[in-house]
Amino acid sequence: MKIVTGHLGSVAPGGRSVTWAATGRFGGHSLPPFDELNLATYVGDAPGDVKRNLQVAAASIGLASTDLVLMQGVHGAQVAVVDQGGPVSGVEPRCDALVTRTPGVGLVALAADCVPMVLADAANAVIGAVHCGWRGLIAGVVPAALDQMNLLGADQVHAVIGPSICAKCYRVPSERVLELRGALPNAISAVACPESEVARIDVGAGVRAQLAAAGVSASKVTTLAGCTAQSRGLFSYRRDGLTGRQGMLVRL
Ligand SMILES: [Zn+2]
């Protein structure tokens, strides 16, 4: 997949709008096994190639790479509120969700099987970017990001969910389903798909269940097509091990 972009909110003169982008594997500078558009600095790719790829990704939402904020993901529920591009105090924030009210700051969530997603209330000018895997579902990073956005004035959030691994491809130990059942009793049928002694998790469905529980109705949620493990146009950690990361970007 090449970069896909879209807008939320009003594009009329004086209206507030949000631009988002979803990157895939193609259209970048990295060499195998990170080919082509790897956006992660922490996977062992050549830093110069990643920098050029980040420039490509930033340009897709009309920004420079220095306007972007990335995360050191920790599979938790920490949310960082940022107001400028680049590392905070020299390092990328340790969190799995970023929120801003500042126009021209590009928030980035990276993933390769987990869910990368963006959240946006264009009318109230609050946006977020979230990384969520099964641990993020249990930790509640999606509701935590929505809570922070609401504190900053959001009340009509839309979500765009990037490609992740589908339930068919995501077999897990049955203990993991039990953990999820404990954490998400109301969403478990949407999250875990037990089938002939093989447990499977649908993280995207879990994210949608948590969005709905937090008041983001299905009509405000867009899910981009594609399973990371099945599409050669997307990075998949489960399929390839050492590989790159695609991302979702958003800006006011
Ligand atoms: Zn799949």
Report cis status (omega within 30 of 0) of the bond before 33: yes
Domain ranges, ordered by start, for the chain: 4-165+218-251
Digit-coded pLDDT (tens) for 97-148: 999 999 999 999 999 999 999 999 999 999 999 999 999 999 999 999 999 9
Exposure string (b/e) for 149-160, b if CB count within 10 Å is 16 or more? bbebebeebbbb
CATH architecture entry for 4-165+218-251: 4-Layer Sandwich (3.60)
- In the reported structure, the alpha carbon of residue 9 is separated from the centroid of ligand 1 by a whole-number distance in angstroms of 32
- In the reported structure, the alpha carbon of residue 147 is separated from the centroid of ligand 1 by a whole-number distance in angstroms of 31
Give the range among 5-9, 132-136, 195-199 with minimum mean pLDDT.
195-199
Q: Are 144 and 150 in contact (CB under 8 A)?
A: no
Q: Which residue has the higher pLDDT, 185 or 237?
A: 237
As a whole number, mean pLDDT of residues 3-32 equals 90
The model's pTM is 0.95
Digit-coded pLDDT (tens) for 45-97: 999 999 999 999 999 999 999 999 999 999 999 999 999 998 777 789 999 99
Q: Provide the pLDDT confidence category of residue 14 given band limits of 50, 70 and 90.
A: low
- As a whole number of angstroms, the distance between CA 53 and CA 32 comes to 14
Please give the pLDDT value at position 86: 87
- In the reported structure, the alpha carbon of residue 236 is separated from the centroid of ligand 1 by a whole-number distance in angstroms of 10
Copy the structure tokens of residue 187: 């969403």
Sign of the torsion angle spanned by Cα atoms 35, 39, 45, 47? positive
- In the reported structure, the alpha carbon of residue 113 is separated from the centroid of ligand 1 by a whole-number distance in angstroms of 9
- In the reported structure, the alpha carbon of residue 229 is separated from the centroid of ligand 1 by a whole-number distance in angstroms of 5
- In the reported structure, the alpha carbon of residue 202 is separated from the centroid of ligand 1 by a whole-number distance in angstroms of 10
- As a whole number of angstroms, the distance between CA 161 and CA 238 comes to 19
Copy the structure tokens of residue 231: 């599409």
- In the reported structure, the alpha carbon of residue 155 is separated from the centroid of ligand 1 by a whole-number distance in angstroms of 33
Q: Are 43 and 244 in contact (CB under 8 A)?
A: yes
Three-state DSSP class for 106? strand
Instruction: Give whole-number Cα distances, 53 to 11, 120, 123, 156, in Å.
Output: 28, 24, 31, 32
- In the reported structure, the alpha carbon of residue 130 is separated from the centroid of ligand 1 by a whole-number distance in angstroms of 21
